[in-house]
Amino acid sequence: MRWFLLCLLIADPALADIVVAARTLRAQTTLTPADLSIEPGDMPGTFAGKAELIGKETRVVLYEGRPILPEDIGPPALVERNQIVTLAYDRAGLSIRVEGRSLARAGVGETVRVMNLSSRSTLSGRVQADGTVLVSP
């Protein structure tokens, strides 16, 4: 009886489900249900369900069978590197719109560095749903 109780105390912890790549996925791939599978595991900081990943874009190569981490994915890119974008500045009734060049890829809500084509200065701004980059002082 003692042996049985000791075994119960030392038993392995229950594993939770984690989302892994069903196949090797290149960076900049938009995730679909077929790209993901669920496996038992206990890795902290991973995703437990497919729903929150579908439609997201891979930022790095995801290898088959490996867990997907939050830093490995992001929103689909709306702005590409070297793309001409509209830079918007709105503050206290002042609204300025100029052209700029994106220095990286970014999705809606992400911060991206851009170069103002008029002044050649580099700024950071947040990508908006319409593709403009909202800069702040």
The 10s digit of each residue's pLDDT in 12-50 is 555 678 899 999 999 999 999 999 999 888 788 888 888
Shared-domain flag, residues 106 and 130: yes
Per-residue model confidence (pLDDT) at position 102: 97
**Residues present in the chain in total:** 137
Shared-domain flag, residues 88 and 59: no
What is the CATH number for 48? 3.90.1210.10
Per-residue model confidence (pLDDT) at position 48: 81
Shared-domain flag, residues 97 and 67: no
Instruction: Report yes or no on 86 lying in a domain.
Output: yes
Shared-domain flag, residues 85 and 129: yes
Tell me the pLDDT of the chain averaged across its residues: 88
Per-residue model confidence (pLDDT) at position 34: 93
Six-digit token string for 60: 């790095």
Query: In the chain, which residue ranges form alpha helices assigned H by DSSP?
Result: 2-10
Six-digit token string for 136: 């702040």
Q: Which domain holds residue 30?
A: 14-74
Per-residue model confidence (pLDDT) at position 5: 46
User: Does the pLDDT value for residue 133 go beyond 60?
Assistant: yes
pTM summary value: 0.67
Shared-domain flag, residues 120 and 89: yes
